């Protein structure tokens, strides 16, 4: 029987960022710093990780990431427009080459018929490229947080690798 070892996504990102000499910054809402925790658990991440903002409140999105209040009012904090604005603000604030921005409804409460629990928007930026995607995850808070982190890392890996 062959044993297949899997490499955590954050380790793959670590290797790629170090190889390319890139920097990373994060904007986390529904993940509450979990993504930063995964990144900073890797020895040597200080070579590329500039920092992150846990912007749980709309006020912090506006004040620290320069997300325009009208975007939040019109589209809601969990939207493509807001998560992309979070990514842009994070690039500017941290002067990073790469950004992952996440906003969503982790649960178990807070969902609506239009945006049920498990709805997550993720935006990644790499140099002049931006990609955003909506995810419909589970009803389980812990799973949603971890899945959102993993999806964000996967998206950034794909954008960097072209």
Q: Which domain holds residue 59?
A: 9-16+23-43+52-161
Q: 3 lies in a domain?
A: no
Give me the pLDDT at residue 1, please.
56
pLDDT for 7: 76
Query: Closest by alpha carbon to 159, among 119, 127, 121, 120?
Result: 127
Question: How confident is the model at residue 5, as a pLDDT?
Answer: 59
- 154 occurs within a structural domain: yes
Sheet arrangement for strand 119-126:
49-54, 24-28, 98-104, 119-126, 129-136
117-157 tens-digit pLDDT? 999 999 999 999 999 999 999 999 999 999 999 999 999 99
What is the pLDDT, as a whole number, of residue 125? 98
Residue 103 lies in a domain: yes
Residue 25: which of 79, 92, 77, 84 has the closest Cα?
Answer: 92
The reply to whether 108 falls in a domain is yes
Q: How many domains does the chain have?
A: 1
**pTM beyond cutoff 0.75:** yes
**Segments of the chain with pLDDT less than 50:** none
Q: Is residue 122, in this structure, part of any structural domain at all?
A: yes
Residue in the block written with tokens 């629990």 = 117
Predicted local distance difference test score (pLDDT) of residue 15: 97
CATH label of the domain that carries residue 32: 3.90.950.20
Q: Is residue 4 a part of any domain in this protein?
A: no
Is 1 part of a structural domain of the chain? no
């Amino acid at each position: 029987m062959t044993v297949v070892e899997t490499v955590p996504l954050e380790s793959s990102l670590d290797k790629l960022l170090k190889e390319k000499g890139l920097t990373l910054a994060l904007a986390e809402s529904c993940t509450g710093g979990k993504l930063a925790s995964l990144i900073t658990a890797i020895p040597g991440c200080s070579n590329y990780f500039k920092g992150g903002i846990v912007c749980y409140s709309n006020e912090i999105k506006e004040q620290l990431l320069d997300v325009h209040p009208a975007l939040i009012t019109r589209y809601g904090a969990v939207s493509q427009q807001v998560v992309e604005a979070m990514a842009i603000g994070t690039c500017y604030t941290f002067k990073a080459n790469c950004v992952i921005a996440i906003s969503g409804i982790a649960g178990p409460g807070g969902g609506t018929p239009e945006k049920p629990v498990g709805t997550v928007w993720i935006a990644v930026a790499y140099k002049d490229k931006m990609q955003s995607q909506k995810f419909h995850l589970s009803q389980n808070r812990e799973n949603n947080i971890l899945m959102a982190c993993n999806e964000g890392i996967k998206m950034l890996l794909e954008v960097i690798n072209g």
